[in-house]
With several copies, the nearest count.
Chain A
Amino acid sequence: MATHILDEDFQPYQWLSEFSQQMPAGRDGAAASFIGTMRDYNDDATVRTMTLEHYPAMTQRYLEQLEKQAKTDWPLNDCLIVHRVGEVFPGEAIVLIGCWSAHRRAALDACNWLIEELKYKAPFWKKEQNQSGERWVESNTDGL
C-alpha cells in the first residue's frame, strides 16, 4: 500500500507500471485503476488552471485510512493512491487509484469505493481560475 501527495505533474500510467513491477509476477489476476484528470471546462465555463489546497497531515492520514479500510473490506493484494496538490493545468492528472487482487471483483469494487470515499471525504479543495476570475468549486458532483 502506498499514498503519495504530489505538488507537481505526474504520469499516472508510469506510476501504475512502476508500482506493479515491484509486485511478485503471477500473484494478481486483476488490476483496476481510476485516473481523474483536469478538464478544461466545468459547468459551461472554460477553466484555465486550478489550484488544489489540502490539509496536509489530515489528507495523508485519511488516505492511508482509506487504503486500510479497503484492504479490510476486500481481498486486495495491494493499493496505490496518488493525489496532486498545487497548481494544476488541463490534461494533468489530479488523482490516481490502483487496486490489485487475485480476482476481478475485489480490484474493481475497491477502486470504485476508494474514489467515491476520497471525493466525498478527503480534505482537498479545488479553486478554478477561468477567464472571468477564480472561484472555489463548492461541492463534488455525483460523477454523472
Chain B
Amino acid sequence: MSIQVKFFASLRESLGQSETTVEQASTVTEVWDLATQSATPPNNLLVAVNLDYANMQSQVNDGDEVAFFPPVTGG
C-alpha cells in the first residue's frame, strides 16, 4: 500500500516538507499522523483526497493522493 501525501503553502513551510509517502493508513487522520510524526493539526486545516475536499475521518485507499493545506487565498 502506498499513499502519496502533499503539503502546501504555509503548512508546507512550517512542516518543512512538500511531499511524502505513507505506506499503511485507513483514514486521513492516520495519514496525517504518519506523515507529520503526529504533529498537532492546525485548527483551520483543509484536506483533499484525490483532488476532492475531504475531512480527517475520510477513508483512504492504496494509490490515493492526500493533500493538506491552510485556508485558500486565491482570487
Q: Which chain A residues have a beta carbon within 8 Å of chain B's beta carbons?
A: 36, 52-55, 57-58, 61-62, 83, 94-95, 115, 118-127, 136-140
Contact A139 B71 (CB under 8 A): yes
Tell me if A's interface is mostly helix, strand, loop or mixed: mixed
Shortest distance between the CB of B70 and any CB in chain A (Å)? 7
B residues within 8 Å of A by Cβ? 6, 8-10, 13, 44, 48, 51, 53, 67, 69-75
> In the bound complex, do residue A125 and residue B51 qualify as a contact, i.e. CB atoms below 8 Å apart?
no
Task: Report which of A95, A119, A122, A125 forms a contact with B70, defined as CB distance below 8 A.
Answer: A125
Partner of B73, one of A58, A62, A137: A137
Q: Is the CB of B71 within 8 A of A61?
A: no
Docked-complex contact B74 and A138, CB < 8 angstroms: no
Q: Which residue of B lies closest to A140 (CB)?
A: B73
Chain B residue numbers with a CB within 8 Å of A123 are 8, 48, 67, 69, 72, 74
A contact residues around B13 at 8 Å (CB):
136
**B75–A124 contact, CB under 8 A?**
yes
| A-B interface contact total, Cβ < 8 Å | 74
A136 and B70 in contact, given A58-B48, A61-B51, A122-B75 (Cβ under 8 angstroms): yes
Give 5 A-B pairs besides A58-B48, A123-B8, A140-B75 with Cβ atoms closer than 8 angstroms: A36-B75, A55-B69, A61-B51, A62-B51, A138-B70
**One of A53, A61, A118 near B8 (C-beta < 8 A):** A53
A55 in contact with B75 given A125-B69, A136-B70 (CB within 8 Å)? no
Contact assessment for A125 and B10 in the assembled complex, using a CB-CB cutoff below 8 Å: yes
Q: How far is the CB of B48 from chain A (nearest CB, A)?
A: 6
Contact A140/B71 with A55-B48, A57-B51, A58-B51 known, Cβ cut-off 8 Å: yes
CB contact between A55 and one of B8, B10, B44, B73 (< 8 Å): that residue: B8
- Please tell me if the beta carbons of A95 and B67 are within 8 angstroms of each other in the complex: no
Given A57-B51, A58-B67, A61-B51, verify A124-B73 contact (CB < 8 Å).
Answer: yes
Chain A residues in 8 Å Cβ range of B69: 55, 123, 125
Q: Are B75 and A138 in contact (CB under 8 A)?
A: no
Cα(A112)–Cα(B9), bound, Å:
27
